[in-house]
Structure 1
Amino acid sequence: MSTNSELMARRMAAVPRGVGNAHAVFTARAENAELWDVEGKRYIDFAGGIAVLNTGHRHPKVMAAVQKQMEAFTHTCFQVTPYDSYIELAEKLNAIAPIEGEAKTIFFTTGAEALENAVKIARAATGRPGVITFAGGYHGRTMLTMAMTGKVLPYKKKFAPMPAEIYHVPFPHKQFEVSVEDSLKYIDMLFRADIEPGRVAAIALEPVQGEGGFLPAPEELLIGLRKICDEHGILLIIDEVQTGFARTGKMFAIEHSSIKPDIMTVAKSLAGGFPLSAVIGKAEIMDAAEPGGLGGTYAGSPLGCAAALAVLKVIEEEKLVARANVIGARMKTRLEAMAQRNDAHPIANIRGPGAMIAFDVVKTRGTDEPDPEATKKILAAAKEKGLILLSCGVFGNAVRLLMPLTISDALLEEGLDILEASLAS
């Protein structure tokens, strides 16, 4: 059997350096919230494939649904000969999505593909080109979604020029010294300096910024954006790719707010590890594109649809929305205690709804000064002790916690013990 170091050498020789690896750990098998590498070492998974595994690795009901589908067929292309699981899943998402009025859903493969098509649909519905997004937001690595993403490194370096008609405004957060009022004023400035509101198709944002540092969008911002969109005929796109499917203590993070979007994008935990994404929106908006204008060869894979139908059942039957709040409360309690330790590296700004929790690694206790180098050392120490973690944030000093919502209490505590020991290393 190969070792991690041998496989990493082969990876470096065979795979471009542009695709990064958070950890030189090659997975051999995984179960719920644990994984084992090729050398037999066991890890607790607090990354969840970047929020893909809310129902855990290889949930038995998801695996059974996919196995049953595999015995029937694996692919036909929905645009050639369709299948009922696609329709059933669309019906279920239409029923639970916080969209006002009748909704429709179309499926794709990746989160970026969902965002690309959300913009296509918005442009078709409005006849306008412009899209406004936020600094720090992450929407994908394709050319259009890379332009929408509000972070240069590592996503945009060497890839210019970006597609036109994408505009960024500052995201409100105390660390950036940007208020909600500042953000809304900046949109008004855009309307006066760069693009008139009658040429803007959509405003897109994450209800909790993911790669940007797990920063929740303030309610006042969302209300202000909804007002701007209603006033000018602009569509509001909410990107739920990382926040959806019970992660934040609601089925969708936007449900923490009083506003409703015109279009939503979902992916990641939708299909429990199988590639599947979707755009959900108001029916009249979703029908704006002409037949053949939307789709993709693998879009709405029958395996992904079967998995997603099982995922929705698991979320309901195992009460994972409520479970996210229990997990999140426990994490915050433990993190607050860790923050008080004088013998551990200082952390600050513990935040996030439900089980979408993050904290900042800082240089000095009581300050917000980022310490990205210490963050790397903490993640490496945790890995050595058997815990998989990820960082994020525009300064690279936020540690995000994304364990499966199906994790046991005992395993959650064990993982938090390792995190605490890693902070004290």
Structure 2
Amino acid sequence: MATTSPLREAAALTGIGETQYLRGTDRTALSLQLEASLNAIRDAGLKPSDIDGLIPYGHGAVAEDFITNFGIKDLRFSATTPMGGASAVAAIQCALAVINAGLCHHVLLSLGRTGYSGGRIGTRVQQMPQFRVIGEFEMPLGAIAPAQLYAPMARRHMELYGTTSRQLAEIAVTTRYHASLQPNATMKKLISIEDHQASRMISDPLRLLDCSLESDGGAAVVISAPDRARDLAQRPIVVMGVAEGHPDSPSAITQRPDLTTLGLAKAAPKAFAMAGLRPADIQVAEVYDCFTYIVLCQLEDLGFCRKGEGGGFVENAALRLDGHLPVNTHGGLLSQAHMAGMNHIIELARQLRGQAAAQVPDAEVGLVTGYGDMGDGAVAIMRRA
């Protein structure tokens, strides 16, 4: 039974937009973000002046950028959800809340990145609010890049449950296959398990092909009130359940008593209860994939399998389009582009609209997750209207 949350089906996704995903550009992240936003607004059949709520990805863009460039005259709400890779999905919950409160009719969620052209990952990590945690425990030992921060989680899972690098390779191979079917994907050359095993070690046990891309581009979606959504250009995608969760204290990953459970483990039961669904009801999942291990861990925390059973769950191409749970049908951050998870939301909308380049047949219900920084998690469950 669904919970009586006022956010259940309080809004729908009505517009999606993206730029070409690149590895090298002289454009700014803001210009890419504005292009994707215009594409999302037009996809919904709206005008920029119709936008009255704004939640940009929190790296530089502010409400005034959109007011100035789009001519918005009645922006009623703006915010950021500073949760790293969980920000985009967490912003869906924020949009539902302000729409349910009657503040807004159409909320734009937008993101622009120059992750390939705009500087080294270590520099950007040092600018994160969470850096003070890294600086106290990890950095003195030389750990600064995300791969170094998350590798101990993967190694601990392997030691506790017997998870293997070849099982992580199953995720990399599957997402690359899905990317090969996409017109807007960065990496399309197919890879094998052996290719993964031969790729160089980045931070044990994570190899090169366990790691997400660095990308330039923009992505955006529009979330609308139900009474407005049904009159727009696209079939609405209804948000059935949504939640965010944060990991247990302390914030430093290596100091936690349990390295193998993420904040998503707290969010997932709430989102499923709000939607009135179980994991078995999900037909397609777009799961945040900064690293292959993070996908495996989230599948466990979402309830698709028990903790420690993720390795076996992903074997034998189980996550492919024709597998028992199609995952990251666009290629994800591992092979399509690193858009901090906004491209995952776009792909879920395409799947549920029946417009995906690599379509899961008759997909009516799916979910999307975000994973951020030191283990924050967010999940949204959606259905075709």
TM-score (normalised: structure 1): 0.26
Which structure is richer in relative contact order (CA contacts within 8 A, separation 6 or more)? 2
TM-score (normalised: structure 2): 0.27
Larger Rg: 1
